[in-house]
Amino acid sequence: MEEETKKFPRLRKYGYWIFLVTAILVLVLVAVLSAQKAKGPITQNISIEPETESFVSAEPVRFLSPLSSVDVIKNYSNSALQYSKTLKQWEAHKAIDFLAEEGTDVFAVLDGTITEVSYNYLMGNVVKLDVGKGLVVVYKSLQNDPPVKPGDKVKRGDVIGKVSATAKSEASDGPHLHLETWLNGENVDPNEYLDLTEKESE
């Protein structure tokens, strides 16, 4: 009991000073910390990485050559006009024409589904092959009675028709395959998906 009462007066005597010194130390610490904080953002080097080119594009779609031997007689042209001997007029040719003998096998360029087999006077026998990803490949000037029908599932390399000269609008070009590519309903250049350079050298 006696020792307890002795302790308290001492605490009361120095307590004020202990509190004062502690308070000053805390204030100094706070001042130093806030000064460093204020300095921080100004001296710090902020590097912002550009977000472009961060997306890696998906594997490019690659067509099998529609014919085993490639001889392009009329290439794709979106704007440049080419003379049509048959129609005797200049026109854009939004397709590739491949010269081949009558009856030459025409291949599915990718796995897909046949969506149309039809005939019209200007383009002859037409086969449409949906290969997915919004891409439809249209084969024209085929022989009568193609070996496929709408709804057929075909594999890349399957024979979907044979070369002929049934397209009256291109009759003067003789037997050939007229190949179009459509992406989401828009006519696009088949060369985007075909690599004909190696086939042509064969």
Q: Contact region for Zn ion (CB under 5 A) — 22-30, 34-42, 47-55, 89-97?
A: 89-97
Least distance in angstroms from the C-beta of 77 to Zn ion: 10
- d(Cα 124, Cα 86) in Å, to the nearest integer? 14
Least distance in angstroms from the C-beta of 109 to Zn ion: 16
Quick check: 178 binds Zn ion (CB under 5 A)? yes
Contact string 156-175 vs Zn ion (x = CB under 5 A): --------------x-----
Least distance in angstroms from the C-beta of 88 to Zn ion: 15
Selected binder of Zn ion within 65, 66, 67, 95 (CB under 5 A):
95
| Cβ-proximal residue to Zn ion, closest one | 178
- d(Cα 63, Cα 131) in Å, to the nearest integer? 10
Q: Pick between residue 95 and residue 196 the one whose CB is nearest to Zn ion.
A: 95
Selected binder of Zn ion within 70, 97, 135, 179 (CB under 5 A):
97
- d(Cα 129, Cα 81) in Å, to the nearest integer? 27
Q: Give residues 41-80 in contact with Zn ion (rule: CB under 5 A).
A: none
CA-closest candidate to residue 63, choices 197, 196, 200: 196
Q: Pick between residue 67 and residue 95 the one whose CB is nearest to Zn ion.
A: 95
- d(Cα 104, Cα 162) in Å, to the nearest integer? 5
Per the CB < 8 A criterion, the answer to whether 51 and 57 are in contact is no
Q: Which residues bind Zn ion (CB under 5 A)?
A: 95, 97, 170, 178
